[in-house]
């Protein structure tokens, strides 16, 4: 602080008093060298003057001693600027001025005393209490007051805790008001200056040190306001921008040393503040100075990028609010006719940012580029249209993505002042420009960059090099391209194309482009954004209507492409091609996110992808995606049709690609094809019924059969219990299918249990169809219906259980026989109550549906089949030296054959004509006995019985179906009724008869059987082979050779003799010469 001796003060006293009286010139008018910057000396003299004439008489002599002009003790007020610790944290503090103060009134004396104690708050309040008399205060005193306010601490410290924001606002308000008073107190100025010019004129003469401190505090205040997200009124923003501009001009105009100038750090903050205040021209000017200062001091790395971001953001904001519409060119061809305004502030700011290598925000750069027209954007690119492109002539009609581009010299690559843009910065900037053009539907530049990235990645891959992260575009670049391609594909479907074939070709071409872009993004590792994957799925969904024909009844509602056109494309491989694209996409996605836990694919996109895979009938990938969806949303009702739930169909992005009812039915049916997928089918079933849906009867039967085949009996019981608990009304077809499923799997006991349960569930269906239930105990009652339904289902269970694949299972055969006994008991009861009703003369207007001929015949045939299943097969017995099974005794075989005979007779006694299966089983039993007989005589006897049965069977007819009646039953001939069929002996049984004749050495019987079969059934390969073996064994050697030659000539395609069969014939023929035929 300035010090002055008492003598020097006394010598200047008269001059100072005169100066105060005349309101002499302010300190601003003095040369700056007269201002001392020492802050340690605090000697001031306060002179009380009533009038200039009595000045020396009224001032005490002691006050002229050489002592401090200000008190050296710290004031009690914490706001005093005397706190050395607080001042150490302050920046740009102005030095105290060496000014002689002479008080003219008591009020001024109090004010000067507060100034003496360096009390900024007290001096401010005393100054304001002066009222209008404060205009008599000299300018130099106001400068000292401004200095005190500027030196007031605004930072909070542990020893001086203050509200920093309020302190800054307070200091700024006080200083600005003091500056206004300072302007009024200057000679020749009006006491009431114009408000519009008051701030500008008041600050224009403010000394640079004070201007620098005030500039800093105003910047801090505005930064605090900006941090609070509060928006200032436009008038206040404009006024503050003007003040900051004036203050910075004052500081820049000084020729003093660097401490009194604006460093590039503060100037950057100033530029950011001016940008927020929308003074973009001035902000750009200061940023230019920032770059120059940084270049001179080699401090380029210390330049803060935030001011550049603030300027770009402000320019983009101004452009968005401008009334002038941005011209979006439909094609880059028109860019040549536009004049490029290189002096546009946005272009200059972008160039300054790029030339300085400032890492500015890409979002702000993007916003600025969006404010430019398409012609300017094309000018900013470092490449242009290739004039040698073969498609350049057609580009004038419509944009074409096939247009070639080539590199060009950019004017920013060279500059007279050295501010050139590097090639790397220009390439990175080109990506942002191409991104904006892509958003406007101009994809050529973006696709050109993608081609370059693809080639660069391949080159790096070949030499095992890692690409630089700075040269990899953001995911937004690829996202916009893919989204625009998806939008274009969707619009091409909605619009009327010249032909549907053109539409499909355009979709395929765009899909190829989309996958090229996505493959590049996947290769460089920027494909984890969900928007990218959603865009790719949208492109795939756009190809669905033209590539797949089976889209259900909703096709005509959501697309103009007909199913006929899609079917024609499907014949040319469109469905397979779309499936390959889907597989490729799913493989790439799951390669980077195996369990979809990284959020790479959103739930709606997952639902759409699953629907697309189902539509293209890709089971393996459909299952994989579905399992991942369930993994993350196990509690979601995936197949619910409720509007409040996010099911797969409701969440899908496209209605035609949504997993609907038909898609699920295909998915569920495919899961039932293999036993390895049974557990997955169970999960699908649970998910489906959880949504309140029902499985069709056909699929339900397949489901139960698959469960039984996999041995999941508890799951089967649960399914049936759910049906029973829900009181589901099962149709007869479903009931029959469920019983058949158990029987086919080899569970006749469970099939029987199923019969009882299903009959209870099926009865209400029948009764509801009948309309009412009789309550008088007639056969139409509920009990009668349950009995009939049970018998019919039991016959089905018997039929399929007897034909089960486990034919040698003795336990299974016993279960079938036991089940047949229950059927026989129920059938007897049914016939009894029917005969009782008829004897009582009950008349029925409508005959009830009862047990039928087919039901009874199936049950009896099943019992005969199960009885014979434990015996050795009689077929091809000629290959065995001894046809008898040592584990099966003759008595067992004879008992089984007699049991079959009894069942055959009992079936006829019931009024049911044996059908072809019945006669075949009867003949098979006789052949069993013939081949298992203990001696030759017994074999011959059983063979004669079999031959008699065979001749009888060939003459029999039977009624296929009809109501069972215990009374006399007449059989109509084939000409009288279409329900009557002729019995046909199975070729395998005929073959066994011929073989049995050969074993019994009876050539005549074997040939007679062959002749009868040939008349009725015609040519059969197996029968012909059996006849050849008969001839080779029992006839002349030349006879079978002649017959073989005839067969080969007549039936060249059907009859083929292998080496093994020829060896058997030769062996039989050779052995025949040693055996005398009987």
CATH code: domain of residue 1050: 1.25.40
User: Structure tokens of 318?
Assistant: 């101004």
Same-domain check for residues 217 and 354: no
What is the C-alpha separation between 198 and 204, in angstroms, rounded?
10
Name the DSSP class of 102.
E
Sign of CA dihedral 749, 750, 755, 756: positive
Q: Which residue has the tokens 């309309």?
A: 771
Q: What is the pLDDT of residue 768?
A: 46
- Distance (Å) of CA 339 to CA 323, 330, 375, 1028: 20, 17, 8, 101
Q: What is the pLDDT of residue 878?
A: 43
**What are the helix (H) ranges across 2-83?**
6-11, 13-21, 55-58
This prediction's pTM? 0.67
User: In 3-state terms, what secondary structure has residue 248?
Assistant: helix
Report if residue 851 sits inside a domain: no
- Distance (Å) of CA 377 to CA 328, 431, 528: 10, 11, 29
From 348, 406, 360, 414, select the one nearest 381 (Cα to Cα): 406
Report if residue 461 sits inside a domain: yes
Domain span at residue 256? 231-297
Report if residue 701 sits inside a domain: no
- Distance (Å) of CA 683 to CA 235, 631, 645, 677, 686: 68, 12, 20, 10, 5
What is the C-alpha separation between 83 and 235, in angstroms, rounded?
37
Same-domain check for residues 217 and 333: no
Which residues are bridge partners to 157 per DSSP? 160
First to last CA, the chain: 153
Same-domain check for residues 115 and 218: yes
Same-domain check for residues 163 and 190: yes
Report if residue 625 sits inside a domain: no
CB distance 404 to 388 below 8 Å: yes
Contacts of 602 (CB under 8 A, 6+ apart): 530, 533, 534
Which residues are bridge partners to 957 per DSSP? 982
Q: What is the pLDDT of residue 36?
A: 36
User: In 3-state terms, what secondary structure has residue 407?
Assistant: strand
Report if residue 550 sits inside a domain: no
What is the C-alpha separation between 264 and 291, in angstroms, rounded?
8
What is the C-alpha separation between 713 and 704, in angstroms, rounded?
9
What is the C-alpha separation between 491 and 721, in angstroms, rounded?
51
Same-domain check for residues 145 and 210: yes
- Give 335-343 contacts, CB < 8 A, sequence gap 24+: 335/374, 335/375, 335/378, 335/379, 337/375, 338/373, 338/375, 338/376, 340/375, 340/376, 340/379, 341/376, 342/411
Q: Which residue has the tokens 């694209």?
A: 581
- Distance (Å) of CA 818 to CA 607, 808, 866: 52, 17, 11
From 817, 781, 778, 788, select the one nearest 801 (Cα to Cα): 817
* 3-state DSSP of 923-942: HHHHHHHHHHCCCHHHHHHH
Chain centroid to CA 63: 88
What is the C-alpha separation between 353 and 334, in angstroms, rounded?
28
Q: Give DSSP secondary structure letters for 841-855.
A: T---SS-----BHHH
Report if residue 603 sits inside a domain: no
Same-domain check for residues 448 and 464: yes
Which residues are bridge partners to 407 per DSSP? 383
Chain centroid to CA 251: 59
Environment class of residue 1078 by beta-carbon count within 10 Å: exposed (0-12), middle (13-18) or buried (19+)?
exposed
From 1078, 1070, 994, 1059, select the one nearest 1028 (Cα to Cα): 994
Report if residue 120 sits inside a domain: yes
Same-domain check for residues 199 and 247: no
Same-domain check for residues 323 and 280: no
Q: What is the pLDDT of residue 934?
A: 81
Report if residue 637 sits inside a domain: no
Domain count, the chain: 4
Tell me whether strands 101-103 and 46-48 are parallel, antiparallel or unpaired. parallel
**What are the helix (H) ranges across 417-562?**
423-439, 444-462, 475-494, 500-524, 530-547, 555-558
Same-domain check for residues 336 and 292: no
Task: Answer with the one of 297, 315, 343 that is the final residue of a domain.
Answer: 297
Task: Answer with the one of 470, 492, 516 that is the final residue of a domain.
Answer: 470
Q: What is the pLDDT of residue 187?
A: 57
What is the C-alpha separation between 477 and 446, in angstroms, rounded?
8
**Mean pLDDT, contiguous 10-residue spans, the chain (1078 residues):** 33 34 35 36 37 32 28 38 64 84 84 88 92 85 91 86 91 92 67 48 85 93 89 89 93 70 89 94 93 83 90 92 54 54 92 90 92 91 72 43 77 72 88 93 91 76 56 86 93 64 86 94 89 96 93 86 90 94 96 91 96 96 95 87 86 93 94 87 92 82 81 81 63 70 74 67 47 44 63 82 67 81 85 73 50 87 87 55 57 87 90 88 88 82 86 85 59 50 87 85 83 82 81 76 75 66 73 49
Which residues are bridge partners to 47 per DSSP? 102
Same-domain check for residues 137 and 188: yes
- Give 637-640 contacts, CB < 8 A, sequence gap 24+: 637/690, 637/691, 638/687, 638/691, 639/664, 639/687, 639/688, 639/690, 639/691, 639/693, 640/690, 640/691, 640/692
User: In 3-state terms, what secondary structure has residue 783?
Assistant: helix
Q: What is the pLDDT of residue 747?
A: 75
Q: Give DSSP secondary structure letters for 628-648.
A: HHHHH-TTS-TT---TTS--H
Task: Answer with the one of 419, 440, 470 that is the final residue of a domain.
Answer: 470
From 570, 509, 576, 571, select the one nearest 539 (Cα to Cα): 509
- Distance (Å) of CA 395 to CA 83, 385, 389, 465: 75, 11, 10, 38
Same-domain check for residues 366 and 249: no
What is the C-alpha separation between 322 and 678, in angstroms, rounded?
66
Same-domain check for residues 259 and 205: no
Sign of CA dihedral 793, 795, 800, 802: positive
CB distance 136 to 107 below 8 Å: no
């Amino acid at each position: 602080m300035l010090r002055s001796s008492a003598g020097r003060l006394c010598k200047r006293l008269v001059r100072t008093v005169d100066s105060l009286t005349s309101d002499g010139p302010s300190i601003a008018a003095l040369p700056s060298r007269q201002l001392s910057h020492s802050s340690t000396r605090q000697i001031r003299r306060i002179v009380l003057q009533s009038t200039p004439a009595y000045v020396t008489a009224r001032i005490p002599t002691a006050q002229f001693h050489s002592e401090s002009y200000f008190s050296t003790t710290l004031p009690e007020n914490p706001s005093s600027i005397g706190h050395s610790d607080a001042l150490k944290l302050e920046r740009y503090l102005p030095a105290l001025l060496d000014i002689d103060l002479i008080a003219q009134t008591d009020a001024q004396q109090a004010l000067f005393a507060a100034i003496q104690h360096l009390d900024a708050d007290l001096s401010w309040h005393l100054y304001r209490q002066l009222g209008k008399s404060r205009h008599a205060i000299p300018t130099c005193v106001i400068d000292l007051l401004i200095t005190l306010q500027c030196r007031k601490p605004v930072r909070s410290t542990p020893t001086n805790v203050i509200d920093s924001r309020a302190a800054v606002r307070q200091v700024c308000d006080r200083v600005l008001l003091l500056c206004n008073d300072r302007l009024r107190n200057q000679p020749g100025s009006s006491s009431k200056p114009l408000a519009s010019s008051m701030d500008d004129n008041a600050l224009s003469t403010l000394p640079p040190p004070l201007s620098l401190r005030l500039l800093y505090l105003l910047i801090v205040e505005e930064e605090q306001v900006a941090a609070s997200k509060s928006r200032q009124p436009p008038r206040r923003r404009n006024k503050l921008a003007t003040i900051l501009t004036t203050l910075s001009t004052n500081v820049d105009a000084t020729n003093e040393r660097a401490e009194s100038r604006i460093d590039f750090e503060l100037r950057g903050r100033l530029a950011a503040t001016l940008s927020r205040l929308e003074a973009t021209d001035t902000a750009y000017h200061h940023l230019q100075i920032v770059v120059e200062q940084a270049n001179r001091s080699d401090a380029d790395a210390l330049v803060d990028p935030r001011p550049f971001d603030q300027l770009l953001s402000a320019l983009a904001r101004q452009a968005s609010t401008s009334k002038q519409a941005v011209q979006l060119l439909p094609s880059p061809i028109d860019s040549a006719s536009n004049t490029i305004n290189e002096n546009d502030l946005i272009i200059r700011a972008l160039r300054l940012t790029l030339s300085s290598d400032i890492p500015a925000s890409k979002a702000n750069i993007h916003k600025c580029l969006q404010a430019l027209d398409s012609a300017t954007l094309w000018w900013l690119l470092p490449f242009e249209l290739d004039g040698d492109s073969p498609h350049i002539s057609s580009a004038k009609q419509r944009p074409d993505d096939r247009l070639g581009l080539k590199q060009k010299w950019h004017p920013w690559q060279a500059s007279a002042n050295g501010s050139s843009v590097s090639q790397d910065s220009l390439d990175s900037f080109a990506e942002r420009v191409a991104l904006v053009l892509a958003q406007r539907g101009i994809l050529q530049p973006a696709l050109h960059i993608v081609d370059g990235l693809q080639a660069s990645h391949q080159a790096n891959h070949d030499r095992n090099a890692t690409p630089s992260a700075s040269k990899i575009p953001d995911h937004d670049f690829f996202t916009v391209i893919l989204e625009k391609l998806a939008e274009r594909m969707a619009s091409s479907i909605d619009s009327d194309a010249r032909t549907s074939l053109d539409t499909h070709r355009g979709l395929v071409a765009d899909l190829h482009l989309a996958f090229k872009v996505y493959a590049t993004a996947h290769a460089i590792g920027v494909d984890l954004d969900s928007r990218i994957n959603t865009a790719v799925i949208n492109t795939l969904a756009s190809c669905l209507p033209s590539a797949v024909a089976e889209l259900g009844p909703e096709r005509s509602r959501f697309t103009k492409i007909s199913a006929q056109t899609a079917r024609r494309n499907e014949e040319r491989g469109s469905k397979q091609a779309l499936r390959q694209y889907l597989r490729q996409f799913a493989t790439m996605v799951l390669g980077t996110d195996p369990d979809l836990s990284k959020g790479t694919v959103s739930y709606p996109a997952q639902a759409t992808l699953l629907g697309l895979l189902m539509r293209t009938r890709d089971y393996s990938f459909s299952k994989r995606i579905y399992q991942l969806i369930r993994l993350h949303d196990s509690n979601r009702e995936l197949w619910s049709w409720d509007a409040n739930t996010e099911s797969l169909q409701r969440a899908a992005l496209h209605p035609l690609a949504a997993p609907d009812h038909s898609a699920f039915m295909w998915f569920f049916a495919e899961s039932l094809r293999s036993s390895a997928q049974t557990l997955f089918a169970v999960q699908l079933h649970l998910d489906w019924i959880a949504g309140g849906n029902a499985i069709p009867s056909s699929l339900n039967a397949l489901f139960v059969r698959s469960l039984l085949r996999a041995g999941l009996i508890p799951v089967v019981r649960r399914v049936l219990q759910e049906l029973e608990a829900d009181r589901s009304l099962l149709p007869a077809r479903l009931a029959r299918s469920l019983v058949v499923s158990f029987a086919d799997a080899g569970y006749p006991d469970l099939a029987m249990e199923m019969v009882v349960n299903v009959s209870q569930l099926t009865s209400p269906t029948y009764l509801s169809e009948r309309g009412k239930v009789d309550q008088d105990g007639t056969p139409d009652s509920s009990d009668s219906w349950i009995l009939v339904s049970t018998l019919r289902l039991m016959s089905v269970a018997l039929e399929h259980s007897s034909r089960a694949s486990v034919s040698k299972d003795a336990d299974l055969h016993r279960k079938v026989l036991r089940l047949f006994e229950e059927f026989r008991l129920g059938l007897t009861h049914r016939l009894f109550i029917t005969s009782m009703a008829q004897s009582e003369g009950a008349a029925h207007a409508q005959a009830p549906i009862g047990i039928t001929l087919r039901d009874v015949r199936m049950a009896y045939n099943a019992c005969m089949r199960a009885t014979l299943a434990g015996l050795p097969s009689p077929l091809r017995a000629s290959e065995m030296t001894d046809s008898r099974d040592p584990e099966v005794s003759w008595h067992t075989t004879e008992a089984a054959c007699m049991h079959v005979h009894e069942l055959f007779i009992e079936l006829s006694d019931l009024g049911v004509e044996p059908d072809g299966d019945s006669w075949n089983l009867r003949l098979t039993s006789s052949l069993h006995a013939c081949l298992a007989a203990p001696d030759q005589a017994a074999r011959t006897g059983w063979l004669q019985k079999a031959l008699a049965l065979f001749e009888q069977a060939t003459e029999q007819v039977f009624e296929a179906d009809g109501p069972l009646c215990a009374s006399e039953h007449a059989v109509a001939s084939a000409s009288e009724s279409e329900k009557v069929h002729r019995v046909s002996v199975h070729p395998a049984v005929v073959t066994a008869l011929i073989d049995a004749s050969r074993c019994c050495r009876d050539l005549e019987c074997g040939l007679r059987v062959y002749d009868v079969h040939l008349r009725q059934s015609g040519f059969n390969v197996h029968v012909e082979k059996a006849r050849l073996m008969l001839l080779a064994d029992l006839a002349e050697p030349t006879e079978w050779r002649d017959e073989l030659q005839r067969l080969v000539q007549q039936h060249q395609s059907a009859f083929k003799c292998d080496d093994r069969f020829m060896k058997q014939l030769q062996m039989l023929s050779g052995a025949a010469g040693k055996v005398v035929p009987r």
